[in-house]
Amino acid sequence: MSKIGNVWVFIEQEGGKIADVSLELVCKGRDLANRLGIKTEAVLLGNKIEGCVETLYHYGCDTVYLAEDDRLEPFTVLPYAKVIIDLVKEHKPNILLFGATMKGRELAPRVASEKLAGLTADCTDLQIDDFEDKVNQKSYKDKLMQIRPAFGGNIIATIVNTWDDPQMVTVREGVMKMDSPDSSRKGKLVRIKPALSKEETVIRVIERIREEKSVDLKGSQIIVAGGYGVGSKNNFKLIYQLAEALGGEVGASRAAVDAGWIDHDHQVGQTGVTVRPKLYIACGISGSIQHRAGMAESKKIIAINNDPDAPIFSVAHYSITGELNDIIPKMIKAYKSKV
Q: Which pLDDT tens digit goes with each residue over 303-312?
A: 999 999 999 9
Structure confidence at residue 1 (pLDDT): 39
User: Residue 16's pLDDT band (boundaries 50, 70, 90)?
Assistant: confident
Task: List every span in the chain annotated with CATH 3.40.50.1220.
Answer: 222-338
Identify whether the C-beta of residue 61 lies closer than 8 Å to the C-beta of residue 70. Answer: no
Where in the chain are all domains bearing CATH 3.40.50.620?
A: 7-201
The domain made up of 7-201 is a member of CATH 3.40.50.620: yes
**pLDDT number for residue 94:** 94
| pLDDT(74) > 80 | no
Q: Report which of residues 1 and 90 the model is more confident about.
A: 90
The one-letter code for the residue type at 153 is G
Q: Which CATH number does 222-338 carry?
A: 3.40.50.1220
- Residue type present at position 246: L
Please, where are the H alpha helices in the chain?
Answer: 20-36, 53-59, 77-91, 102-115, 236-246, 254-258, 289-295, 324-338
Return mean pLDDT, the chain: 91
Neighbours of 142 (CB within 10 A): 17
263-278, pLDDT tens digit by residue? 999 999 988 888 999 9
What global pTM score does this model have? 0.80
| 8-state DSSP, 297 | T
Q: Tell me the angle at which helices 102-115 and 77-91 cross, rounded to the nearest 10 degrees.
A: 50
Which pLDDT score is estimated for 200?
80
Question: Where is 283: in which H helix or E strand?
Answer: strand 279-283
Q: What integer pLDDT is reported at residue 153 of this predicted model?
A: 63
pLDDT tens digit sequence for 193-235:
988 888 888 777 777 777 777 788 988 999 999 999 999 999 9
SS3 132: strand
pLDDT of residue 75: 67
285 pLDDT band, cuts 50/70/90, is very high
As a whole number, mean pLDDT of residues 276-291 equals 94
pLDDT reported for residue 270: 80
Weakest-pLDDT range from 30-39, 107-116, 193-202, 321-330: 193-202
Residues in the chain: 339
Q: pLDDT band for position 2 (50/70/90)? A: very low
pLDDT at 21: 94
Q: Contacts for 210-214 with beta carbons within 8 Å, 24 or more apart? A: 213/265, 214/263, 214/265
Q: What average pLDDT does this structure show over 145-155?
A: 80
Residue 336 has a CB neighbour count (10 Å cut-off) of 9
